[in-house]
Each structure stands twice: as structure tokens, then as C-alpha cells.
């Protein structure tokens, strides 16, 4: 299991985000409640 990912937010496709970490893309499942409550997403992401 991965506990933390830090990198660029590459894509948002609910219920997933794609985080680019030094050229490796990680698809992360995000609860829909997070998408609805977080209107502004930073370009740098820590999950």
C-alpha cells in the first residue's frame, strides 16, 4: 500500500485523479465528497 504521493496533478476524472511523480503517473481513487467540496485544486498535489 502507498501511504503518500506527491507530485503534479495531471488529470481529474472523477472518481480518479492522476498524479505525475517524476514522470510516473499514479491513478488515485478519490471520494466524490472530496471532488464536490474541493473546488480549487492546486497544480501540486500531496495525497
What cell does 29 get?
481513487
Output the pLDDT for position 1: 87
Q: What are phi and psi of 27, to 5 degrees?
A: -85, 125
Instruction: Compute the Cα dihedral for 21, 23, 25, 30 and give only its sign.
Output: positive
Q: What is the pLDDT along the chain (47 residues), one digit of tens a residue?
A: 889 988 888 888 889 989 999 999 999 998 988 877 766 665 555 54
Output the pLDDT for position 46: 52
How far apart, in Å, do the first and last CA atoms of the chain sit? 13
What gap in Å lies between CA 18 and CA 21, rounded to an integer? 10
Measure the CA angle with vertex 31, ends 45 and 6; round to 5°: 15
Amino acid at each position: 500500500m502507498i501511504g503518500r504521493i506527491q507530485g503534479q496533478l495531471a488529470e481529474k476524472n472523477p472518481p480518479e485523479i492522476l498524479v505525475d511523480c517524476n514522470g510516473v503517473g499514479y491513478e488515485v481513487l478519490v471520494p466524490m465528497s472530496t471532488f464536490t467540496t474541493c473546488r480549487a485544486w492546486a497544480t501540486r498535489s500531496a495525497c
